[in-house]
Structure 1
Amino acid sequence: MDQPRVCEKYQHCRWIGAGAFGKVYRAIDTKINCVVALKLTELEGDGNDGGVPAVSLREMSVLKEMHHENIIKLLDVVLQDGKRLTLVFEFMDGDLLEFMKAHPDRFSDSNLIKCTTHAYSAPEVLLGSTEHYVAADMWSVGCIFAEMVNQDREFEEGS
């Protein structure tokens, strides 16, 4: 995968994955020498005329308000020439499923069910819906719950 430059402050290390709303890279914050995750969303060519999508605005506003040790921190937001939005998050090595498989005996501890998890998108989002409904979030919550209960991914990418 190509590694587009966000700004001098962040040096890309490697591509982590992609979701419905962007590509995620592992990077280094060169100012404080700390590993971060960069979520890059291209704003051109998706029908929004270079504006920031409502789903991104919602994500940013909710995460800026959340201050809890078990919620990923949004550290920075970079808008490049109105063409690319980059959300900078604290970096978490792994996801909930990986943690559960590595520590099956500890899964019953409710304090541990606070790690990051695989990203699930509702079918309407995957089919290109530009509207965002609570039902789409509930789909994701249901998939995550099934993943936690079964300790297995219900839907793999491409299936």
Structure 2
Amino acid sequence: MSPTSVPCGTTTNSSYSVSASTAGSFSSPILRFTTEISFYCHTQYEKVEKIGEGTYGVVYKARDRVTNETIALKKIRLEQEDEGVPSTAIREISLLKEMQHGNIVRLQDVVHSEKRLYLVFEYLDLDLKKHMDSCPEFSKDPRLVKMFLYQILRGIAYCHSHRVLHRDLKPQNLLIDRRTNVLKLADFGLARAFGIPVRTFTHEVVTLWYRAPEILLGSRHYSTPVDVWSVGCIFAEMVNQRPLFPGDSEIDELFKIFRVVGTPTEDTWPGVTSLPDFKSAFPKWPSKDLATVVPNLGAAGLDLIGKMLCLDPSKRITARSALEHEYFKDIGFVP
């Protein structure tokens, strides 16, 4: 592919503050928001090659002409391209530039060009799915599984402390620096800015395998526990070398979950029968012993994964508490 430049556009630099009264609410509006927009002809980024098509659009390997740095350039697909970029999306994405953590893929720039939106990220060419697929012996190294899980939780705990949810965590958006084994979370906050489409840019169905039961049951009010559920699924997949709940529809996904952790009741999950998509006719499955589901995990690991895969989100362990779990007591050095 011949190198091409990103066309003229705008970049956004944003600052914001949130009152203490909204700190626990992910649906509360940003109370004060200021944005400075500078207009200039943006020829800084040169596309080198297309490297993938994700949930939100096309991803290119590109070069920063100023620094000569290799970067990842995400061209965001907009549902209503004729209407331009929604101001809410620009605002939400601009906030993500404030997120600075060693386990978060850094958003370096936001380029708003005519009716297009480009996000400039640091470049990493390996993700956890590719790593697991290419290294069948990966699951046989419990230290590596533990180290990756710890880094995932560390990144999530940071984002949750800044009132940012992911909502679509999966091995494909956990990126790895193959030189250092540093793991970084990609696409944090994009779901809030753009929503999660049913299909990707190339019409591939967006996976349900890591989606929390409260979302599958139609809850309109969910928070940080949805990401912890996803991490529990990823944890099991790292150990088993196969997805834990590979459903091919929302109802199939729910039933795969219920067959393992049991069908929820008002006793095990107060309020569940009031969720929009809960049906009293759901089959009543008992919960399984997790030792038969993730047989290669020791007692501490099974305890942690059980707390991550708790059906009731109010009882699910937090990312911060998970980092303090006994499973990590011998973690040693983590990059």
Query: TM-score under structure 1 normalisation?
Result: 0.68
**How much does 1:79 deviate?**
1.0
Residue 6 (1) aligns with residue 6 (2):
yes
On the 8 A contact 1:39/1:87 being kept in 2, the answer is yes
- The answer to whether 1:126 aligns with 2:158 is no
Q: Which residue of 2 aligns with 1:25?
A: 60
Task: Give the letter aligned to residue 69 of structure 1.
Answer: G
- Are the counterparts in 2 of residues 36 and 89 from structure 1 also a CA contact under 8 Å? yes
SS at match of 1:107: helix
Instruction: Assess, with a 3 A threshold, how the Cα gap between structure 1 residues 99 and 136 changes in structure 2: closer, same or farther.
Output: farther
Aligned residues: 149
Residue type at the aligned position of 1:73: R
2:92 to 51, 58, 61: 58
Higher relative strand content:
1
Q: Which runs of 5+ in 2 are unaligned?
A: 8-42, 156-169, 174-186, 200-219, 250-335
Give 1:41 shift.
1.7
In 2 relative to 1, CA 53–40 (structure 1 residues): closer, same or farther, beyond 3 Å? farther
Structure with a larger share of its residues in helix: 2
Gaps of 5+ in 1: none
Measure the CA separation in 2 of the matches of 1:136 and 1:98: 29
> What TM-score do you get using the length of structure 2 for normalisation?
0.36
Greater gyration radius? 2
For the aligned residue pairs, the C-alpha RMSD in angstroms reads: 4.0
Change (3 A) 1:146 1:2: farther
> How far 1:2 sits from its partner (Å)?
9.6
SS at match of 1:149: helix
- Work out whether residues 147 and 153 of structure 1, in 8 Å CA contact, stay in contact via their aligned partners in 2: no
Q: 1:147 aligns with which of 219, 234, 258?
A: 234
Report the alpha carbon displacement of residue 30 of structure 1 after superposing the two structures with TM: 1.4
Counterpart-to-counterpart distance in 1, 2:151 and 2:71: 22
Deviation per residue, 1:129-159 (Å, 9 max, x gap): xxxx665986666445423321356499x99
The one-letter amino acid paired with 2:54 is G
Does residue 49 of structure 1 match 2:74? no
